[in-house]
Structure 1
Amino acid sequence: MEVLTQTEVREHQNEIIEKIQNGALFIYPTDTIYGIGCNAQDEQAVAKIRELKGRFDQPFSVIVPSIDWIRENCVITKKTESWLQKLPGPFTLILKLKNESAVAQNVAPDMKTIGVRFINHWFMNIINKCDVPIITTSANKSGEFFMTSIKNLDKDIENNVDFIIYEGENKGSPSKIVNVEKEEVMER
């Protein structure tokens, strides 16, 4: 397992992008908290994250490579459009999925809705260049405290990811969940 800084990610950008596209599991910073992710179109990689977190039933959200990805793969209403204007930001938008093949089947088991993020962070540039959605879930075992520093990262998770992109301690809080059609905003 390799720990990379922002500078190292930029220096080895093509290699990092290839690893992500090919199913690597990795920890990365966002505009909220550290996440653990993989290519959301890779069913085996998604299954590994489910196993690692001990999270078998709940759907995962994804960070999308672009706003256009949302428009191509989700149902867009006037309400949705008004929320898209607020991105990037610390929101997870729950949207109706119109293209079930946009992500692996095990990302959102019911495949009717999906949580999407478009983050306000330098790492968004890497995701955009990957041109695939990535799983976004807190870097912790299900039910445990999320990672704020590499010092409190669960050892099992640390030992089972391919790389960590680390930019120091992060005392942020998880994104707000926005169910667009129900007009509900949930703090976590």
Structure 2
Amino acid sequence: MANRFDSSDLEEAVRIMRNGGIILYPTDTIWGIGCDATNSEAVKKIYTLKQRSDSKAMLVLTDHDCKLPGLMREVPELAYDIIDMAIKPVTIIYPNARNIAPELIASDGSVGIRITKEEFSKALCNKMRVPIVSTSANISGHPSPHFFHEIEEEIKAQVDYIVKYRQDDLTPSLPSQIIKLDVNGEVKVIRE
């Protein structure tokens, strides 16, 4: 376990994802399974690994709100206020998603995006220059692991890379708040 991630850990995770692989990595909430969110084949690998229906959309992470306009036709102005005022991680479901794998876009055209503030996942998004998938590191229907040691061996065995950073970290984390924004500015809180 590393207390501060080293660049070789980050570089290897980026290399794997750029080559269509999937990784296990720490996020600002719980450990996640990730890949390049613009790569359909990699996204399909995650659905297969999680044994999850592809009708259940997965969220994506990015490192800065300036990248939002590239991921949807129009960013609701309120989104920036919500992001700025958030005390804990917040996932916003936006309408009219674009420039990501179609498998990540819900049937209504929306996508869930979180701006990560966690050190490793933020650096990962920055280095990838595209959003990355972030879905809980569990088989669909099984409990979400809060810590690395709770992740099922089946998951660990099927990813292409496991990030070393924070594997021994037992700091409790909170799930993200989930808010859905509509094009007309309507706000719906899905999870507080």
8 Å contact kept, 2:59–2:104: yes
> What is the CA-CA distance between 1:145 and the residue it aligns to?
1.1
Rounded to whole Å, the distance in 1 between the matches of 2:15 and 2:88 is: 26
Question: 3-state SS of the aligned residue for 2:7?
Answer: helix
Rounded to whole Å, the distance in 2 between the matches of 1:51 and 1:164 is: 18
Rounded to whole Å, the distance in 1 between the matches of 2:161 and 2:44 is: 18
Q: Which moved more, 1:164-173 or 1:145-154?
A: 164-173
> What is the CA-CA distance between 1:114 and the residue it aligns to?
0.5
8 Å contact kept, 1:63–1:118: yes
Identify the residue that residue 188 of structure 2 maps to in structure 1. 184
Structure 2 counterpart of 1:133, which letter? P
Identify the residue that residue 141 of structure 1 maps to in structure 2. 139
Aligned residue runs from structure 1 range 29-108, under 5 A: 29-56=26-53, 57-74=55-72, 75-86=74-85, 89-99=88-98, 102-108=99-105
Q: How large is the RMSD of aligned CA atoms in angstroms?
A: 2.3
Rounded to whole Å, the distance in 2 between the matches of 1:147 and 1:185 is: 24
Rounded to whole Å, the distance in 2 between the matches of 1:107 and 1:115 is: 9
Identify the residue that residue 172 of structure 1 maps to in structure 2. 173
Rounded to whole Å, the distance in 2 between the matches of 1:149 and 1:178 is: 25
Task: Classify 1:71/1:84 alpha carbon distance in 2 versus 1 (closer, same or farther; 3 Å).
Answer: farther
Q: Which moved more, 1:121-130 or 1:168-177?
A: 168-177
Question: 3-state SS of the aligned residue for 1:85?
Answer: helix
| Contiguous gaps of at least 5 residues in structure 2 | none
Rounded to whole Å, the distance in 1 between the matches of 2:12 and 2:149 is: 26
Task: Classify 1:71/1:47 alpha carbon distance in 2 versus 1 (closer, same or farther; 3 Å).
Answer: same
8 Å contact kept, 2:30–2:147: no
Q: Which moved more, 1:68-77 or 1:6-15?
A: 6-15
Rounded to whole Å, the distance in 1 between the matches of 2:116 and 2:87 is: 5
| Contiguous gaps of at least 5 residues in structure 1 | none
Structure 1 counterpart of 2:187, which letter? E
Identify the residue that residue 153 of structure 2 maps to in structure 1. 155
Task: Tell me the TM-score normalized by structure 2.
Answer: 0.84
Task: Tell me the TM-score normalized by structure 1.
Answer: 0.85
Question: 3-state SS of the aligned residue for 2:102?
Answer: coil
Question: 3-state SS of the aligned residue for 1:51?
Answer: helix
8 Å contact kept, 1:61–1:116: yes
Question: What percentage of aligned pairs have identical amino acids?
Answer: 27
